[in-house]
Amino acid sequence: MTLAQRGRWITAVALLLLAGVYVRALVFTPEEAHQGLAQKIFYVHAPAAWSAMLSMGLVGLASILFLLIKDPRYDRFAAASAEVGTAFSLVMLTTGPIWGKTIWGTWWTWDARLTLTLFLFFLFLGYLLMRGAVTEPGLRARYSAVLGICGLVLLPFIHLSVYLFRTLHPAPIVLKPSAPSLPPEMLVTLLSSFAVFTLLYVGFVTMRYAIGDGGGIDA
């Protein structure tokens, strides 16, 4: 089986499982007492955020490995991971405000975590724009690796600075999602959603990686 085919299979299975997670989340998982139906979006939102973070983490890791070993496969993987991460960030950034409008009463607030994820998205965009703007492959790989590593180091700083910013100047009403101890049914749904999103990430990245290889070449 070629790598591209393998990627398609993984993605197909993941999408099927995702449908299962949706059904479980909507039908077989109890409704949250305070938030009602709106809370259901968490089963998409949180795992998408996880996959986006995973993408960035692996972009950074692949970048370090590329600079150390100079194997172009790491660069290709980083490119694939960044593209998939951008998509997951977009899912996270669109599902978040939908929930926020219902529960917080506002589409957006400059809360630490929200700001962090927005900049995660900007970093992905910058990374991809940079890749598009360098034509020579060797140069592109090295530049991207440098940017990937810097991006990974930047994220904790952004988190810290925005966190400090908000704690020094608390807004009148800062509604923060507390971490409630979930009843087992919800926990199972959420965890399976995390697993499915991780599988989706693997599927997407495999497909994208295979395209970078020039299509159906055996891995």
Instruction: Give the interface with another protein as residue ranges (CB under 8 A).
Output: 67, 119, 122-123, 125-126, 129-130, 133-135, 139, 142-143, 145-147, 149-151, 153-154, 157-158, 160-162, 164-165, 168
Min dist. Cβ of residue 71 to another protein (A): 14
Min dist. Cβ of residue 101 to another protein (A): 25
Min dist. Cβ of residue 75 to another protein (A): 12
Which of 5/161 has CB closer to another protein? 161
DSSP-derived 3-state class of residue 199: helix
Which of 49/158 has CB closer to another protein? 158
DSSP-derived 3-state class of residue 33: coil
Which of 41/118 has CB closer to another protein? 118
Alpha helices in the chain (DSSP H): 3-23, 42-69, 72-103, 112-133, 137-168, 184-212
- Count CB neighbours of 185 within 10 A: 12
Min dist. Cβ of residue 108 to another protein (A): 16
Q: Distance between CA 141 and CA 122 in Å, rounded?
A: 19
Q: What is the maximal distance between C-alpha atoms in the chain?
A: 58
Min dist. Cβ of residue 144 to another protein (A): 9
Cα atoms in the 13 Å half-sphere on the side-chain side of 100 = 18
Contact 216, 8 (CB under 8 A): no
Burial of 178 (0-12, 13-18, 19+ CB in 10 A): exposed
Which of 121/209 has CB closer to another protein? 121
Provide the residue count of the chain: 219
The one-letter code for the residue type at 84 is V
Cα atoms in the 13 Å half-sphere on the side-chain side of 159 = 9
Min dist. Cβ of residue 120 to another protein (A): 9
Q: Distance between CA 11 and CA 84 in Å, rounded?
A: 12
Which of 149/199 has CB closer to another protein? 149
Which of 126/213 has CB closer to another protein? 126
